[in-house]
Amino acid sequence: MAVDQSKAWQKLDALAKSGAADKHLKTWFEQDPNRAQRYAIELDELFLDYSKNRIDDEILTALFELAQQQALPDWIDRLISGEEVNDTEGRPALHTVLRAGTDASIKGFAASVQADVKDQFTKMTAIVNKVRAGHWRGYSGKPITDVVNIGVGGSDLGPLMVTQALQTQTSPINLHFISSIDGTQTSNLLKGLNQETTLFVLASKSFTTIDTLSNAETAKDWLEERIPSLNTIMAQHFIGVSTKPDMMSEWGIPPENQLLFWDWVGGRYSLWASIGFPIALKVGMDGFFDMLAGANLMDQHFAQAPLEQNIPVVMGLIDVWHINFLGIQAKAILPYDARLRYLPAYLEQLVMESNGKSVNRQGETVNYKTCPILWGEVGPNAQHAFYQLLHQGTQAVMSDFIAPVERDDFDRYSETHKNESLRYQHRLALANCFAQSRVLMLGDAAIPDNLKSSFDSAFKHYAGNQPSNTLLLKSISAKTLGMLVALYEHKTFVESVMWEINPFDQWGVELGKLIAKDTYQAMLDAQQADRFDGSTAQLLNRVKMS
């Protein structure tokens, strides 16, 4: 029986239809003054206020019934112990074991890989320390100063997002990221770098990703302009990160420069494994392990907290309510700190590559909505862009506001003008964050009485009733980032369990890659364009003409 036919689902559907779907958030707050205190959960340095969602106790109870009906606690256990929850590819999804350290309570297949994980972290530690201490040398003997991560998707977004988020921490190494297949990032970046002091990290789970390998070839050509010995290029200027040691060796990377991970780590979960190498270069292995510890804190919470107090569970279920019973199809990620600028892009992959599916685990087409369109932007910037649509458009949108309570990049006790200005800016950002979620919730009701007259126009009408979560982090640190990312991973998993889909495969990205190869061949041979549809043939012919 499909989940939408189930008892718990039907109950939720009935609740929505019997008035809950039409009730305005404003009303809920008016009727229940203690709502905010009740709908909040704190875990260590993370605080969630979920009161601005279109829910009440009755709806939440029904959602927890749905979770029980879908055997969520059992699924969580299966995930963490390493059962083959990725059934279409026949493997577990064990990102949690990467951050469990030597935890003895780990069981099942997960326990069997702990030693491998430890070995790779030991190897990674040695390399990271050597590079950060200035003892990893380029061909001429100068210390490496610049590290370029070549990777795409999961081999790019995680390290890019986290290193940007931790930009206030000083690092002895300048980090750069190139991902796009077109080569413009690469050629542009290489102009500013020196072969003597540049190290490339070739990061690819499968080691077949054409985007990454083509960028790596360009990097190798650039090194060969100065370095006659290919052995030296490979020994001193490339580090490989992959699940495929044989293919790395074949490409020329010596075993001592290979960092491994395993097929039971999904690409979009690989920042916790050696794909996180650039993160460790940025903040040191201590910082990297802090990030893992933060994630582990969230894992423990996810595995142990009762559903009602379980942050990923609560957030996941509320989104399921919004999506499947209130018809909301869009989700905005709105961090109120520019350091989190790549978080939306990171979550776009994590969430949409995981749950952007329309077939359940049995291979049957589902009759209900799954993953919404997720996008986002640094909140204060987005206020000058798409917030217009949030406030007055025709789309219902659920949002996650994310902000640090403290900032670590200025001295809170210093009285200099610059500190005073930065303090002022931080308060200003938080004030905007709180104001926007309030207006989205209340609409016109947020307008103070003395200003009501100036909003007396259809064009100045705010409907409100747009739901949101607010996540406050104590500060932006390796630890809180670990907590935050693990939270979204688990929330995404919770939703997949409700929808009965496998969140760990990504068959949808394969066909395009395959067809690109064929299309590339056609580009080399003028006669072949005719094999394609009219539009593609026309485009191919345009390129040939130039």
Partner 1 sequence: MKISVFGCELTGLVTAGALAHAGNDVMALPVGQVKVEDLVAGRLPREEPGLDALLAQQYQEGRLQFEADWQDGLAHADVLILSTPSWRLDRAEALIELIGETVERDVLVVNQSTFPVGTADRFEQRLLDAFAKRKLAINVAVVAMPDFISEGSALDNFMRPDRIVLGCRQPGSIKIMRDLLRPFNRMTDQIKVMSTRAAEYTKYAVNALLATRISLVNELANNAEHFDIDFEEVRQGLGSDSRIGFSYLYPGCGFGGPSFAADVRSLVGDLQTKGYDADLLRTVLSNNEIQKEVLFRKAWRFFDTDLRGLKIGVWGLSFKPNTSTVENAPSLKALEAFAAQGAQIKAYDPKAMEDFAASWQGAQPIELVDTMYEAIEGVDALVILTEWKLFWNPDYAVMKQKMRQPIIFDGRNIFDPDIMKQQGFRYFGVGRGEEI
Judge whether 308 counts as a catalytic residue: no
Closest approach of Cβ 142 to partner 1, in Å?
Answer: 7
Options 7, 17, 107, 513, the catalytic residue? 513
Q: Which residues pair with 330 in a beta bridge?
A: 373
Give the residue, chosen from 24, 26, 78, 130, that forms a contact with partner 1 under the rule CB under 8 A. Answer: 130
Closest approach of Cβ 473 to partner 1, in Å?
Answer: 34
SS3 content of the chain, % helix, strand, coil (to 5): 55, 10, 30
Pairing of strands 468-473, 46-49: antiparallel
Q: End-to-end alpha-carbon separation of the chain, Å? A: 57
Closest approach of Cβ 135 to partner 1, in Å?
Answer: 4
44 versus 256: smaller Cβ distance to partner 1: 256
193 versus 235: smaller Cβ distance to partner 1: 235
Closest approach of Cβ 128 to partner 1, in Å?
Answer: 14
State yes or no: residue 123 binds partner 1 (CB under 8 A): no
Stretch that binds partner 1, among 49-57, 74-82, 97-105, 133-141 (CB under 8 A): 133-141
Binding positions for partner 1, 236-265, rule CB under 8 A: 236
Stretch that binds partner 1, among 132-140, 414-422, 493-501, 505-513 (CB under 8 A): 132-140
36 versus 133: smaller Cβ distance to partner 1: 133
141 versus 363: smaller Cβ distance to partner 1: 141
Please check whether residue 147 is in contact with residue 281, taking contact to mean a CB–CB distance below 8 angstroms.
yes
Both structure tokens of 318: 């509320």
Stretch that binds partner 1, among 136-144, 276-284, 332-340, 453-461 (CB under 8 A): 136-144
Single out the residue of 272, 257, 271 nearest to residue 130, CA to CA: 257
Options 45, 83, 196, 353, the catalytic residue? 353
Closest approach of Cβ 186 to partner 1, in Å?
Answer: 25
Both structure tokens of 507: 């068959």
DSSP string, 194-261: -GGGEEEEEE-SSS--HHHHHHHHHHHHHHHTT---HHHHHHHHEEEEES-HHHHHHHT--GGGEEE-
**Distance between CA atoms of 283 and 290, rounded to whole angstroms?**
10
Stretch that binds partner 1, among 170-178, 227-235, 282-290, 413-421 (CB under 8 A): 227-235
Please check whether residue 330 is in contact with residue 389, taking contact to mean a CB–CB distance below 8 angstroms.
no
197 versus 470: smaller Cβ distance to partner 1: 197
Residues 182-221, one symbol each (x = binds partner 1 by CB under 8 A, - = not), give ----------------------------------------
Closest approach of Cβ 258 to partner 1, in Å?
Answer: 18
Closest approach of Cβ 304 to partner 1, in Å?
Answer: 42
State yes or no: residue 226 binds partner 1 (CB under 8 A): no
69 versus 232: smaller Cβ distance to partner 1: 232
Stretch that binds partner 1, among 71-79, 200-208, 230-238, 399-407 (CB under 8 A): 230-238
174 versus 232: smaller Cβ distance to partner 1: 232
Options 384, 415, 417, 517, the catalytic residue? 384
State yes or no: residue 137 binds partner 1 (CB under 8 A): yes
Closest approach of Cβ 226 to partner 1, in Å?
Answer: 13
Degrees, nearest 5: CA angle 397-399-402:
165
Structural Rg of the chain based on CA atoms:
25
Give the residue, chosen from 133, 230, 405, 509, that forms a contact with partner 1 under the rule CB under 8 A. Answer: 133
**Distance between CA atoms of 240 and 216, rounded to whole angstroms?**
11
Helix, strand, or coil (residue 403):
strand
Give the residue, chosen from 7, 38, 107, 142, that forms a contact with partner 1 under the rule CB under 8 A. Answer: 142
Stretch that binds partner 1, among 36-44, 228-236, 489-497, 520-528 (CB under 8 A): 228-236
Judge whether 353 counts as a catalytic residue: yes
138 versus 482: smaller Cβ distance to partner 1: 138
Question: What's 91's DSSP letter?
Answer: B
Question: What's 54's DSSP letter?
Answer: S
Instruction: Give the interface size with partner 1 as a residue count (CB under 8 A).
Output: 12
DSSP string, 493-532: HHHHHHHT--TT--GGGHHHHHHHHHHHHHHH-GGGGGGS
Judge whether 357 counts as a catalytic residue: no
139 versus 277: smaller Cβ distance to partner 1: 139
Q: Which phi and psi angles does 224 have, rounded to 5°?
A: -65, -20
**Distance between CA atoms of 525 and 541, rounded to whole angstroms?**
11
The angle that helices 478-499 and 157-165 make with each other, rounded to 10 degrees, is 140
State yes or no: residue 235 binds partner 1 (CB under 8 A): yes
User: Which residue's entry shows tokens 């999961």?
Assistant: 154
The H helix count followed by the E strand count for the chain is: 23, 11
Q: Which phi and psi angles does 533 have, rounded to 5°?
A: -65, 165
Question: What's 19's DSSP letter?
Answer: T
Q: Which residues pair with 85 in a beta bridge?
A: none
**Distance between CA atoms of 103 and 467, rounded to whole angstroms?**
38
Closest approach of Cβ 139 to partner 1, in Å?
Answer: 7
208 versus 229: smaller Cβ distance to partner 1: 229
Q: Which residues are CB-contacts of 221 (< 8 A; sequence separation ≥ 6)?
A: none
Please check whether residue 66 is in contact with residue 317, taking contact to mean a CB–CB distance below 8 angstroms.
yes
State yes or no: residue 141 binds partner 1 (CB under 8 A): yes
Closest approach of Cβ 236 to partner 1, in Å?
Answer: 6
Would you name the residues annotated as active-site residues?
A: 353, 384, 513
Interface residues toward partner 1, by CB under 8 A:
130, 133, 135, 137, 139-142, 229, 232, 235-236
